[in-house]
Amino acid sequence: MANVVVVGSQWGDEGKGKIVDWLSERADVVVRFQGGHNAGHTLVIGDQVYKLSLLPSGIVRPGTLSMIGNGVVIDPWALLAEIDELSAKGIEVTPRRLNIAANACLILPLHRELDQLREAARGKARIGTTGRGIGPAYEDKVARRSIRVCDLADKAALEDKIDQLLLHHNALRRGLGTDEIDAKALLDDLLEIAPKIGAFAGNVWRRLSALRRAGKRILFEGAQGAMLDIDHGTYPFVTSSNTVAAQAAVGSGIGPGAINYVLGITKAYTTRVGEGPFPTEQDNEIGKHIGERGREFGTVTGRKRRCGWFDAVMVRQAVQVAGIDGIALTKLDVLDQIETLEVCIGYKIGNKSFDYFPASGWSMNHVEPVYETIEGWSESTAGARSWADLPANAIKYVRRIEELIEAPVAMLSTSPERDDTILVRDPFED
């Protein structure tokens, strides 16, 4: 049985929720392996809408085991709130259905506060984070001062870890002119939620190994997108974790040989939330039209997304860096009835041409897109479930994208409904 990694190939918001839900029905296990509750996946199942930030998308499937790997940073209060929200909708979340890596690091209220204080201090130079403490939590992880899920079970050790953590954070808070954190209050807050979180904790790496040996299908669910990767994205306007497929192994505790297929979720146009370079952005009527048709607002923040033409250069780079075997092309229907479409096939800065996204910040901000014009289509693609349902020009558009990004389309999504999907190649049967 193939094990599949799902990653975004752009700047996130590519429609991973629907595709992961579609795949999770075929999976035995769904694993989150990076990021935190800054991710936002919307699932539409019948007339019910589920908006998940931290829980794996498989949690809405009664027969699917969900896991949160060690590569994820976990806000325990946000997690419990999300569990409560699902319970109110009839989704039972128990330790039998959800496992959390004992060695995953926690996001604390002080991380969220620091995130917001820093963004405010940056002013116009702000990065555009969600303000949920993801970056500061990863900083503490790398600096080896994090409080982890397993620490909640040992009060004495937890007290010491809090003291060490606050030695750093209270110095920062003094520098930022804000109140220091009270160690006892933080300890009391953590001890209160410790048994609730601890009930789900365990050795995810070990259970995954056993499940793999048993021949179970494992789906690794990524958050954000490849161009937000801390190493390979549009730095510094990136997230604080690795978002490429290789992180699935590191962030869940399973070897890279366990990965059989990498599916890159790719929107038929390009969007971005927050700050940072965006060569194909259309800050005009066409961008507004795409945003309205595509309902481009962030699942987590509600922020309006910036919209633009499909950037084949960027996606081709993501295909190579993330090891993408095939893509799931989403939101094709949003482009219906646009007379002519533009696709970015290269960049230039002055007289110099680029066939990749430059690494330097100056170059990123100064590249100009080189476009290829493609004839649009007047017919509707919404709800199409076979190639025969698609207009000829829509098929030409898809085929041209395949050529430019050097990866095949494995799935094609034509609406938010999970069944409005054209399956070209089942990743689990690779």
Ordered per-residue pLDDT tens for the chain, 430 residues = 589 999 999 999 898 888 888 898 889 999 999 999 977 777 777 777 888 889 998 898 888 999 999 999 999 999 999 999 999 998 999 999 999 999 999 999 999 999 888 887 777 666 667 778 999 999 999 999 999 999 999 999 999 999 999 999 999 999 888 999 999 999 999 999 999 999 999 999 999 999 999 999 999 999 999 999 999 999 999 999 999 999 999 999 999 999 999 999 999 999 998 889 999 999 999 999 999 999 898 656 667 899 999 999 999 999 999 999 999 999 999 999 999 999 999 999 999 999 999 999 889 889 999 999 999 999 999 999 999 999 999 999 999 999 999 999 999 998 887 788 999 988 988 6
Which residues, at least 6 apart from 264, have a Cβ–Cβ distance to it below 8 Å?
Answer: 7, 8, 9, 226, 315, 318, 319, 322, 324, 326, 327, 328, 407
Ramachandran area for residue 128 (φ above 0: left; ψ -120 to 50: alpha; else beta): left
Please tell me the predicted confidence (pLDDT) of residue 25. 86
User: How large is the angle between the packed helices 312-322 and 392-405, nearest 10 degrees?
Assistant: 50
Please tell me the predicted confidence (pLDDT) of residue 250. 97
pTM above threshold 0.75 = yes
Active site residue 41: yes
Please tell me the predicted confidence (pLDDT) of residue 17. 81
| Euclidean distance between CA atoms 392 and 92, whole angstroms | 45
| Euclidean distance between CA atoms 41 and 43, whole angstroms | 6
Tokens 């801390």 correspond to 230
Choice among 37, 41, 169, 232 that is catalytic: 41
Active site residue 336: no
Please tell me the predicted confidence (pLDDT) of residue 298. 65
Which residues, at least 6 apart from 140, have a Cβ–Cβ distance to it below 8 Å?
Answer: 105, 111, 146, 165, 168
CB atoms within 10 A of CB 131: 17
Please tell me the predicted confidence (pLDDT) of residue 430. 65
| Euclidean distance between CA atoms 134 and 35, whole angstroms | 7
Choice among 13, 115, 140, 229 that is catalytic: 13
Please tell me the predicted confidence (pLDDT) of residue 320. 97
